[in-house]
Structure 1
Amino acid sequence: MVDVSQHNLVPEHNILDEADIEDVLEEYNIDRTDLPKIKRRDPALPDGAQPGDVVEIVRDSRTTDRAVVYRLVID
């Protein structure tokens, strides 16, 4: 079986700790539930991602070199 999360076209996914989550939510003045969602069963998620976790996704971008987005893990 292929581990999709290790494919070179899948962007980097990192689970944030609570301090980092609070910084992100404060920066954007939003609640955790306002974040876009990602299913727990998404094959690109790191092992151990649980519902309620916030994942930082870092993608390559043509215009900004790096694009960082955040997703709330749901069941």
Structure 2
Amino acid sequence: MLKKIAFAAVLIQVAAFSALITQTVLFASTATQAANVQASEPVAVTDMECAKATWPNIPGKCLERIQARQ
């Protein structure tokens, strides 16, 4: 009985280790590509673009800036 429990524990550890290695190999290139995004030249924003913008891709010019009251 104890041998079966120990064998099951070893199999679970091997499966967890394999899953972590698989995630690292598959998603390492995606993280690198996301980190290497370079800013392109600024694009003019029109009112139509502001109307169609959705979170989180709202251009800074579309956000309303207000001053705090004193």
Q: TM-score range by the shorter chain?
A: under 0.3
Higher normalized contact order (CA 8 Å, seq sep 6+, divided by chain length): 1
Give the number of the structure whose residues are more often helix, by fraction. Answer: 2
What TM-score does the superposition give when structure 1 sets the normalisation length? Answer: 0.17
Give the number of the structure whose residues are more often strand, by fraction. Answer: 1
Q: Which has the larger radius of gyration?
A: 2
